[in-house]
Structure 1
Amino acid sequence: MTGRLQGKVALITGTGGGQGRVAALRFAREGAIVVGCDVVAAGHEETAALMRSEGYRLYGSAPVDLGDHEQAKAWIDAAVAEHGRIDILYNNASSARFGPVSELSIEDWRYTMRNEIDLLFYTTKYAWQHLAEQRGVIINISSTAAWGGSKVAGISAHAAAKGAVIAFTRQLAVEGASVGIRAVSLSPGFIATPGTAPFLENPVVRAALLDGVLMDRPGEPEEVVAMALFVASSEASFITGSDFVIDGGLLAI
């Protein structure tokens, strides 16, 4: 049976764990050639080992700091040199720092902008022409933080950056339409990953994070990746410029 992404070259950032790891595995199972990267080499190699155990290969390299435009360009260029094309750019990787706005340091603000929005610009800029040649797809990961504040933690920088991701994606859809590029963003709510495990282990914090989530549980990475797979496929050929919220009903109230 032919996979939904058979023969497509998919570049996925942040493949060292969490949603990026799940995406790498799922996309490979659907026939894609997966090129990954991560700032943590060990995590990237763990994902590669998991993929090998299923008979797949994870291309790409680690460590790669996508917040450095030269490293982002080198990663894109290496993928094209090896595979000759880019069909899907899945901008999953991000990193933020938190704190009340009055206490958040300038360094932490700039760190968050660098690692949640700047890196998307770099990868998209350098992949753009290659995506245009294939009439490809850009998938950017935003967050429900773009749509509402939080009482749990100071998320001003994170919210600003993720709001920028959605706005950036819409503009990419406009600019991409004439060359056949689709651009879509996904806004997950609270998702259970290794990075969020400490929050889930604290009953008080867990309860606060799930307050208002109609399904009364965190989401799973697979539930986000399932939507990413759909929008990456030809089944979503009439979808561009949209943001899809995957939040267990948090924003319904």
Structure 2
Amino acid sequence: MAGRLTGKVALVTGIGAGMGRQIALRFADEGAEVLGCDINAEAAERTVEQAAGNGTPIESVHPVDLTRPADVRRWVRIARDRFGKADILVNAGAIAPRTAPAGEMDFETEWRPTIAGEVDLVFLACNEAWPLLKASGRASIINFASVNATRGSMKMAMLAHCAGKGAVRSMTKQLAVEGGPLGIRANTIAPGLVESAMTAEAGAIAGENVETVLSRSLLGRIGTPDDIAWCALYLASDEASWVTGADFAIDGGVTAV
């Protein structure tokens, strides 16, 4: 089923690493015209080079700080001038959450950066890209919730992270409500623990935490960015044309028990 996104324009944030990188590469491989962005210019450039080497080139704007409205507007303006529409928006970019526990979390240096890096940047991209998605008439927004949008963690201090991902999940449902009459679908993917530079930075894929996750997994492993990219591909494609307002748990079965 090659070419599942042929003729579609995809805007993908966070293409420098992890899920965003793999989604951008997968979408290009499936025929989409991809315009990515990342705050890390060197990482984004490596993704662009890999896509070119694969014979499925993508474009990127970098550096882009997705928590800055002016940067998001600049990225979306380039998409508008280049394509005139957007069929897909994937908000894969995020900032590693701060993990201080309740009662000890600092508002300015821990709470606010986490909320900005998980909620504000999703709002800004959706808000700016909305006219381009409306111009498509058959558009798909893919946002990222988490297993922690609906449950807490006994091993890590996830107060701000749980709040942020819960907000993204709820916000996406409202985007689906408002987007439906305009031909804009909106869904969330809720990954379990996925191996990436960000989860490594947060200390989530080492020691007791990963052992706990593996003990609850029905499939006996943590996820990979490609596991998530396949779900994103489905939601971006016309195969999901009757799917909106949904949340997809891609977590190895952790939330099933």
TM beyond 0.5: yes
State which of 158, 161, 179 in structure 1 corresponds to 2:161. 158
Tell me the alpha carbon deviations over residues 113-168 of structure 1, each in whole angstroms, 9 at most, x when there is no partner. 11101111111111111101112110001110101101121111010010011100
Tell me the alpha carbon deviations over residues 160-206 of structure 1, each in whole angstroms, 9 at most, x when there is no partner. 01001110010000000111100011000000113334647634332
For 2:216, what is the secondary structure of its paired residue?
coil
Q: Is the 8 A contact 2:195 2:205 kept in 1?
A: no
- CA–CA separation in structure 1 for the residues paired with 2:131 and 2:243: 20
State which of 130, 133, 156 in structure 1 corresponds to 2:132. 130
* Residue number in structure 2 paired with 1:246: 250
- CA–CA separation in structure 1 for the residues paired with 2:205 and 2:34: 33
- CA–CA separation in structure 2 for the residues paired with 1:112 and 1:195: 13
Report the TM-score when normalising by structure 1: 0.96
* Residue number in structure 2 paired with 1:230: 234
* Residue number in structure 1 paired with 2:104: 103
Report the TM-score when normalising by structure 2: 0.94
* Residue number in structure 1 paired with 2:225: 221
Cα 1:201–1:67 change in 2 (3 A) is closer
For 1:196, what is the secondary structure of its paired residue?
helix
Is 1:146 the counterpart of 2:149 in the alignment? yes
Tell me the alpha carbon deviations over residues 39-71 of structure 1, each in whole angstroms, 9 at most, x when there is no partner. 111110110111111122221211100101111
For 2:198, what is the secondary structure of its paired residue?
coil
- CA–CA separation in structure 2 for the residues paired with 1:241 and 1:234: 16
For 2:176, what is the secondary structure of its paired residue?
helix
- CA–CA separation in structure 2 for the residues paired with 1:87 and 1:184: 14
- CA–CA separation in structure 2 for the residues paired with 1:131 and 1:32: 15
- CA–CA separation in structure 2 for the residues paired with 1:117 and 1:102: 22
- CA–CA separation in structure 1 for the residues paired with 2:159 and 2:205: 24
**What are the ranges of 5 or more consecutive residues in structure 2 without an aligned counterpart?**
none
For 1:211, what is the secondary structure of its paired residue?
helix
* Residue number in structure 2 paired with 1:21: 21
Q: Which moved more, 1:170-179 or 1:203-212?
A: 203-212
Is 1:44 the counterpart of 2:44 in the alignment? yes
For 2:36, what is the secondary structure of its paired residue?
strand
For 1:240, what is the secondary structure of its paired residue?
coil
Q: Is the 8 A contact 2:148 2:166 kept in 1?
A: yes
- CA–CA separation in structure 1 for the residues paired with 2:67 and 2:188: 19
- CA–CA separation in structure 2 for the residues paired with 1:192 and 1:130: 32
How far off is 1:79 after superposition?
1.1
**What are the ranges of 5 or more consecutive residues in structure 1 without an aligned counterpart?**
none
* Residue number in structure 1 paired with 2:216: 212
Q: Is the 8 A contact 1:152 1:209 kept in 2?
A: no
State which of 113, 118, 124 in structure 1 corresponds to 2:120. 118
The two structures, once aligned, show a CA RMSD in angstroms of 1.4
- CA–CA separation in structure 2 for the residues paired with 1:200 and 1:149: 14
* Residue number in structure 2 paired with 1:187: 190
- CA–CA separation in structure 1 for the residues paired with 2:232 and 2:195: 17
